[in-house]
Structure 1
Amino acid sequence: MRYFPLFMDLNNKPVLVVGGGEVACRKIDALIRAGAYVTVVSPQVAPYLESLVKDGKCVWVKNFYSSAVLDQPFIQVWATTDNPELNHQVHKEAKQRGLLVNVVDDQPYCDFITPSMIDRGRIQIAISSGGASPVLVRNLRETIEGVLPGNLGLLAEFGSSKRNSIKEALPSVDLRRQFWERFFALTAVKQATSRDVLEQAYSELLKQDKPRELEVVWVEFAQDVERLSLKALRTMQQAERVLYPKQCPFDFIDLCRRDAERELFSDETELSQRLEELKQQEERIVIFIPQGTQAYALLQSGQRVIGLASERLA
C-alpha cells in the first residue's frame, strides 16, 4: 500500500494555494466545499476565482509568491502554478516549516494525493491508484457509481440523525451495530425515497425483540482469495470474531470486518476447546479451514460451511 488512506477535516482550517489558474480553480472549489479557509497567492487569478473572492469564499493575496506567506499557520499547502521551479521552491519552503504540501501533477513532491471521489452527501468513496493509472481509476469510479443506490445520501443523513436516540434505546455498541445491519437490509429501507418511510421502518424494528445466539460459520480457504463467494464475503463482514489456522493466507483474513476479534488456533483440539469457551457468547463467528479438509467434521455438526467457487479450464 503506497499511500495511507485518510479523510482530513478541513472545516475552518487555513489552507494556502499558490497559483490562480485552471488547476487552482479545481482544487480551490473542492477545498471550499470541504469548508477550508483558503488563501490564494497569485498576481492574477482566473475569473472563477475572482467571483469566489468577491463572494467572500476565499482570500486573494494579489502578489507574487514569497516565503513570508508561509509564516501564517497553514495546515496544508498546494502549489498549482505552471512553473515547476516555483512549485519546487514552494515545496522546499513548506517542508522546512513542517507543512503538508502537494505540488499538483508532480507526485515526487506530494506528501498527499487527492483520490477520485464519489460524493453522495455524507457518503464519500475515495478511489486511488497512487497516481499510477488515472484512467483506470476513472473507469472504476464510473462502474461503482452505476451500482450504488440513489438514496445513499438519504440513508446516511437518517442514520446520523438517530445517533443519540439509538444510544438511549440500545445501550451497547454490539446491539446498535446489529440493529443497523438489520435496518439497512430491509427492503423498505433499500427502496426508500423519503424520510417518513425510514422513520416507520426504524420504529417498527426497534419494537421487535430479536434475541441473539452464538452463530458459527465455516469458510474454506485455498491460495486464491478471488474464489470466495459473495455469501462468504458477506458473512465475513458481519462476524464479530474470526478464528483461523496458521496456514490461512492473510488475504482471506484481511477481508473480514476490520473490528472483528482475530484468533489463531493450532489444531482441531485447541479449536474445540475455544468453541466450548465461546458457547455462551452472543456472537457471529467465522472459522477458516483448508478447502477439502475433513478434520473438523465433528465440530461442524449442524453448522453452515461455505466452500470456494470451483475453477474450470476453458
Structure 2
Amino acid sequence: MDFLPIFLNPHKKPCLIIGGGPVALRKAELLSHTDAIVTALAPAFHPNFEPLVRSGKVVLRRKAFDSSDLKGFALVIAATDDTTLNATIAHSARKSGLWVNVVDQPELCDFIMPAIVDRSPLIIAVSSGGRAPVLARMIRARLESLIPANFGRLAELAGRFRTRVKPVVPNPKERRRFWERVLQGSVGELMLAGQTTAAAEAMEAALKSTNKDHVPLGHVALVGAGPGDPDLLTFRALRLMQEADTVVFDRLVSAEILALVRRDAEKIYAGKARSEHTLPQEQINHLLVRLAKEGKRVVRLKGGDPFIFGRGGEEIESLAAEKIPFTVVPGITAASGCASYAGIPLTHRDHAQSCLFVTGHRRGDQPNLDWNKLVVPQQTLVIYMGLLGLQEICQALIRHGMAPDMPAALIQSGTTPQQKVIIATVSTLAERAREKNAAAPTLIIIGEVVKLSEKLSWFQGQEKGEEK
C-alpha cells in the first residue's frame, strides 16, 4: 500500500493552493466545500476564481511563489504548470514540516487527492495512488450511479440515534443486526425517498420494539419497470429490485428485467391479461399488506409507470389505510418509451402542441371514450390497451370528425428487440394490424407526428410494417 487512506478534518485550517489555472481552480472548488480557510497564490488567476472570492470561500494573493509564503499554513497543494516550480514548492513545504500535494506528480506527494463520492457525511474516496486517475474517476462514476443521493441524510439520521440505540441494545452483535435491519428496512427506504419525518417516526418505533416479541413493519415500493428495455430502469428501481425480499410482478414486466431481481427473492406473479386475472386486484392489495406486516421488503413491480393506467393508486390506498410504509418509484411510461423508440415525438412545434393519453378498454362491446375530446387539431392521441377495439376506435374517430387519412401507428412490444411498428392511417390501421398479426402488448399513436417516424426512426431492433 503506497498511500494510507485517511480523512483529514480541514475545519478552520489554513490551506494554500499555489497556481492560478484550471487545475488549481478545481482544487480550490473542492476545498471550498469544506470549512477550510483557503488561500490561492499565483501571479494571475483564471476568471472562474472570482465567484469563489465573492462567496468568501477563497482569498487570492497575486504574486510569484517564495518559500516564505508557506508560513502559517497547515497543508499545501502545488498546482502550477511548471514541474520545476512544483518540485521546489514540495521541497520547501517538506522542509517546513508541511504536508504537500503536487498535482499529477505522486512521487512528490505526502498526500493525494482521490476521486470522491460525496454523500456527506458519508464520503467515499477512490484512488489509484496516482497511477491511473482516469480509472479512479471511472470507478467513482459507477459508484455515483449505485449510491442514492439521500444516503447522506440516512447517515445523519443514524448519527442522531446512535447514542440512544447503544443502551437499548448493549450487545454489539445484536446492535449491528439492529442497524442492518433498520437501515435496510422501512427506515432506510423512507429516508432515501425524502420522507424525513416518517423515517424518524419509524426509527422511534424500531427502538420501542427491540425488547418485544414484535416483527417490525416491512416496506412496500411501488416500482415502475418501464416499457420493456432493462436499460430504461431508474437507478432507484434497480436498487430496490436487488434488495427486495419479495417481488410481486405483472405480466408486462419482461423476463430481462425480472432477471435483475435478487436471485433469492421470492417472486409472485400477479399478471393480468384480458379475461385472465391470476390475482384479482383486491387480492393483490391484501397480499402487499400481508407481506409488509411480515416484515418483508416488498417491490410491487409494474410495467411502464405505476400511476399511468397501472392501478397503482388503488394499491397504495390499501397500504396507507393499514399504515404500511411505502414509496413510489416512477417508470418510463409506454407512451414516451415506445414513441421514442419508434421515432415518433409526442409533441412537435409544427405538428402537435398537446398530447392525450386514454385507455381503449371496452365497457360492454364498445370502447367507452369521450370522442369529442379525442378529435382535436394539433393533438397527439395515445391509446393504451386498444388493440381489441382498434377497428371500433378508428371508425368512431372518423365519425366524430377525424380525417380518414390522419397518420396512425401501432407499436407492438415497444423498446424490446421484438418491437414492431405498423404505420398506416386511421382508416387503414385496423386492417394493417390484422394483416401483420399484431398481438399485445401494443400502443396506438394517432396524429400528424406519426409522419416523422420514417425520418426520425433510430432503433434498429424492430420490424416495420408500413403503408406508404
**TMscore range, shorter length:** 0.5 to 0.7
Q: Name the counterpart of 1:147.
A: 146
Deviation of the 1:50 alpha carbon: 2.8
* Counterparts of 2:150 and 2:211, CA distance in 1: 27
**Map of 1:92-111 to 2, 5 A cutoff?**
92-111=91-110
Q: How does 1:130-141 map to 2 (within 5 A)?
A: 130-141=129-140
Once the two structures are superposed, the pairs formed by residues 72-111 of structure 1 within 5 Å of their partners are 72=72, 74-111=73-110
- The equivalent of 2:185 in structure 1 is 186
Q: Quick one: which amino acid aligns to residue 195 of structure 1?
A: T
Look up the match of 1:285: none
1:124 counterpart residue number: 123
Deviation at 1:169, TM superposition (A): 4.1
- Over 3 Å counting, the alpha-carbon distance change for 1:69 and 1:31 in structure 2 is same
Please report how far the alpha carbon of residue 172 of structure 1 lies from its aligned counterpart in structure 2 after TM superposition.
Answer: 6.1
Q: Within the alignment, does 1:205 sit opposite 2:206 as a pair?
A: yes
Partner of 2:12: 12
Aligned mates of 2:26, 2:172 — CA distance in 1: 40
Please state how far the C-alpha of 1:174 moved relative to its aligned partner.
5.3
- What SS does structure 1 have at the residue aligned with 2:118? strand
Q: Which amino acid aligns with 1:203?
A: E
Deviation per residue, 1:29-83 (Å, 9 max, x gap): 11121211011111211112133223322222221111111122x1110111111
Q: Distance in 2 between matches of 1:209 and 1:41?
A: 56
Instruction: Determine if the alignment matches structure 1 residue 23 to structure 2 residue 28.
Output: no
> How far 1:94 sits from its partner (Å)?
0.6
Amino acid of the structure 2 residue aligned with 1:28: A
Q: What residue in structure 2 maps to residue 42 of structure 1?
A: 42
Q: Which moved more, 1:188-197 or 1:74-83?
A: 188-197
* Per-residue deviation, 1:188: 5.0
Q: Give how far 1:138 is off.
A: 2.3
Aligned to 2:159: 160
Structure 2 counterpart of 1:166, which letter? V
TM-score of the aligned structures, taking structure 1 as reference length: 0.62
Q: Give the whole-Å Cα distance in 1 for the aligned partners of 2:100 and 2:24.
A: 14
Contact between 1:38 and 1:58, CA under 8 Å: does it hold in 2?
yes
Query: What's the CA shift string for 1:251-304, capped at 9, x where partnerless?
Result: xxxxxxxxxxxxxxxxxxxxxxxxxxxxxxxxxxxxxxxxxxxxxxxxxxxxxx
- CA gap 1:191/1:56 in 2 versus in 1, 3 angstroms: closer
The answer (yes or no) to whether the contact 2:20–2:80 under 8 Å persists in 1 is: yes
Query: What one-letter code is carried by the residue in structure 1 that aligns with 2:200?
Result: E
Which residue does the alignment assign to 1:239? none
Cα 1:135–1:149, aligned 2, differ >3 Å: closer, same or farther? same
44-53 or 93-102: bigger deviation = 44-53
1:241 corresponds in structure 2 to: none
C-alpha separation in 2, matches of 1:184 and 1:105: 39
- Residue number in structure 2 paired with 1:257: none
What letter matches 2:208 in structure 1?
Answer: K
CA gap 1:68/1:135 in 2 versus in 1, 3 angstroms:
closer
Does the CA-based 8 Å contact 1:189-1:197 persist in structure 2? no
Q: Distance in 2 between matches of 1:24 and 1:207?
A: 52
Equivalent residue, structure 1, for 2:425: none
**CA 1:151–1:58 in structure 2 vs 1: closer, same or farther (change >3 Å)?**
closer
TM-score by length of 2: 0.42
- Residue 151 of structure 1, CA deviation: 2.8
Q: Match of 1:40, as an amino acid?
A: A
What is the DSSP-based 3-state SS (H/G/I as helix, E as strand, rest coil) of the residue aligned with 2:130? coil
Deviates more, 1:194-203 or 1:1-10: 194-203
User: 1:76 & 1:172 partners in 2: Cα distance?
Assistant: 41
Unaligned runs of 5+ residues in structure 2 are 213-468
Deviates more, 1:33-42 or 1:54-63: 54-63
For residue 140 of structure 1, what is the amino acid of its counterpart?
I
Does the CA-based 8 Å contact 1:189-1:201 persist in structure 2?
no
Paired AA for residue 149 in structure 1: P
Letter in 2 for 1:37: I
Partner SS, residue 162 of structure 1: helix
Aligned to 2:60: 60
Mapping of residues 153-302 of structure 1, within 5 Å: 153-167=152-166, 169-170=168-169, 176-187=175-186, 189-192=188-191, 193=193, 194-210=195-211
CA root-mean-square deviation: 2.2
8 Å Cα contact 2:18/2:41 also seen in 1: yes
Question: Structure 1's 185 and 51: CA in aligned 2 closer, same or farther, altered over 3 A?
Answer: closer
Q: Does 1:3 align with 2:3?
A: yes
Q: Secondary structure at the match of 2:60?
A: strand
CA distance in structure 2 between the aligned counterparts of 1:116 and 1:200, rounded to whole angstroms: 36
TM-aligned CA distance change 1:189 to 1:56, over 3 Å: closer
The 2-side partners of 1:132 and 1:184 are apart by: 36
Higher relative contact order (CA 8 A, sep 6+): 1
Once the two structures are overlaid, the 10-residue window that deviates more, 14-23 or 186-195, is: 186-195
Distance 1:70 1:191, change over 3 A: same
The one-letter code sitting in structure 1 at the alignment partner of 2:143 is I
Q: Which has the larger radius of gyration?
A: 2
Report if aligned partners of 1:101, 1:112 keep a CA contact under 8 Å in 2: yes
SS at match of 1:56: coil
Alpha-carbon separation, structure 2, partners of 1:190 and 1:131: 37
Sort the Cα spacing of 1:188 and 1:97 in 2 relative to 1 into closer, same or farther, 3 A. closer
Is the partner of 1:82 in helix, strand or coil?
coil
**Aligned counterparts of 1:77 and 1:188: Cα–Cα separation in 2:** 42
Figure out how many residues of one structure are paired with residues of the other and give that number.
211
